[in-house]
Structure 1
């Protein structure tokens, strides 16, 4: 599990849903309203669909994520989810061979081949969280979720500059797993509260305890502000001496993220590992799903099940836009949250360039689950 979070992403209260259908959240829609299919590439959608299906097929023991979904009835099956992901790539490849525009951008094709389940957000839980939040902006946005639209947040991987060695500017490390945990399985490590990873808070690590006691290897060195950002985002896309490198969260210190406080006050700390690309959900580091901007959603994997194909629609300028993406990532912000999706936007150095590139995207959107028709 990893904390793929945006600046608007929240941690939400625990709320229990039944194992069967929740008709107030998802209902079959015979007349879905599709706008212009835009803002995504069929090739990228296929890439994420293929990677996610591979995880589902090869990691059936991951009961947290690999299931049909706990908020659907028996009409939604895991087999359908897998067929839907396979159909995405089948369609894309057939269109490439035929040298025609992707039918995944054809509204008629989508209506003919998919069942659409309209998502009605759980605004009741959102309102409860709004009351408890100490952040006025969060409170306002939660209270403003319409009854017919989900909360559509956006997240990005942080573009950073770093150093191979500690300097006056780059004085905070991204640490790999502590030395006393190397060779331990996740279960063994989690059950041993005496190991280094389970001992220290973010503030203690920033103060230098790991470096002073030589308890873990520093992968790279960042500014303190950049460290807080990458701990929030979960992924760092880093330029180190002119070389682009990727780092992803590995295991944390077991302290929950606190939605009521700011990023600098969080006690949770993540240890990292270097990876080949931007990575999404995965029970282990080696099994994480390679994800792609504009076609990857983070959301409530525990309740919805990994690999769901979603369409979100919204008004942009003078036309309605619809886009497709795969639920391929998750984070603490989505625990028991059935009113939000988080779209992976891209990689940016900070809020200003992120906002400039994404200011046209709305905070709320109509949403549907799509499943290939039987």
Structure 2
């Protein structure tokens, strides 16, 4: 096994470069303090992600070593990197010592670090098309040596089991005309299926209100529906009980990065789930997530399960943290300038901002792979 790892290491000592972005090997990455994450949670998400990679090999969209890396790394190297996280964590628990995943010397000794220099050209092209001034400013301001580090959260919502004046927007389940169909089968029959017929605006205006083939799971306020469609997951208080809802399948309309959330035509149908879930081609295979150790990003090009370290200044102290690419979203199509970090669950913007105002918009980032 050690021989195989050495072989992998030997092919990793180079720069990945395509167009205006790069992943550049840094032998001495700047790490001052490893923090802001729990080793136990990182282990859990890496293990869940590794299991998906090993069991859902048919998912060619996500289960690959990364199309941007020019076949210079293997899926086995990705799996070994993920496995090493839990091996280390569990050895430390058994030895009753502090996790070595927070030990700078240990991390530097065991991983190769590839500095991510972002695709600012694409970011600026999107910024020039955007109608959102804040988004345009943030995209135009991405430094050449830092990625755009956004934060996402699961929405803490209140809802009703019946329609009311306040809770007047349905969170719809997948229409019954699609039950039992795979994604491929549904795509081949899209002209006949309800899911593909309507935009978000159509549905919110009542296009499905009398259609018995579409079941409301719960009822939300209009603002809450926009939020959960954007975030992808709702942590919902329904009559005093906490329930979880996750995106299932959408109406086939692409997310438009240049538009605000209310202008998006993409609409998601939801499903009730046991916890916060991330990437998965099928609902039953989705990866269970933990906050602070999960990144959403460009799974299609980077490949599921990549381990990233990001560094930033917080209260005059430089912090580095590790997380795994285990989620995605429409905003990441052709996007090699951004990671989105799952932070926690909040009622709204003010709660989120108060808890995360110390986190920056941009951060140094490295792809890390086991030596």
Paired position in structure 1 for 2:272 = 274
Partner of residue 157, structure 1: 154
Query: What does residue range 99-248 of structure 1 map to in structure 2 within 5 Å?
Result: 99-192=96-189, 193-248=191-246
Contact 2:118–2:145 (CA under 8 A) maintained in structure 1: yes
Equivalent residue for 2:335, pick from 337, 353, 360? 337
Q: Secondary structure at the match of 1:76?
A: coil
Q: Does structure 1 retain, via aligned residues, the 8 Å contact 2:173–2:271?
A: yes
Residue of structure 1 in register with 2:319 after alignment: 321
Offset, 1:195: 1.2
Question: In structure 2, how many angstroms separate the alpha carbons of the residues matched to 1:165 and 1:127?
Answer: 45
2:17 alignment partner, one of 6, 19, 22: 22
Q: Distance in 2 between matches of 1:112 and 1:21?
A: 22
- Structure 1 partner of 2:10: none
State the SS of the aligned residue for 2:272.
Answer: strand
Match of 2:8 in 1: none
1:270 and 1:223 mapped to 2: Cα distance?
16
Provide TM-score, normalisation by structure 1. 0.92
8 Å CA contact retained: 2:310, 2:322: yes
State the alpha-carbon separation in 1 of the partners of residues 263 and 140 from structure 2. 25
Q: Structure 1: which 5+ residue stretches go unaligned? A: 1-19
Q: TM-score, normalization: structure 2?
A: 0.93
Give the Cα–Cα distance (whole angstroms) in 2 for the partners of residues 326 and 55 of structure 1.
13
Which structure has the higher relative contact order (CA within 8 Å, separation 6+)? 1
Distance 1:323 1:226 in 2: 31
Give 1:256 deviation, angstroms: 1.4
Question: In structure 2, which of residues 80, 93, 96 is the aligned counterpart of residue 96 of structure 1?
Answer: 93
**Whole-angstrom distance in 2 between the partners of 1:111 and 1:265:** 45
Q: Which runs of 4+ in 1 moved over 3 A?
A: none
Q: Which residue number in structure 1 is paired with residue 11 of structure 2?
A: none
Q: Deviations over 1:128-154 (max 9, x none)?
A: 222222221111111111111000000
Distance apart, 1:182 and its partner CA = 1.5
- Which residue is 1:70 aligned to? 67
Contact 2:127 2:258 in 1 (8 A): no
**Secondary structure of 1:211's aligned partner:** coil
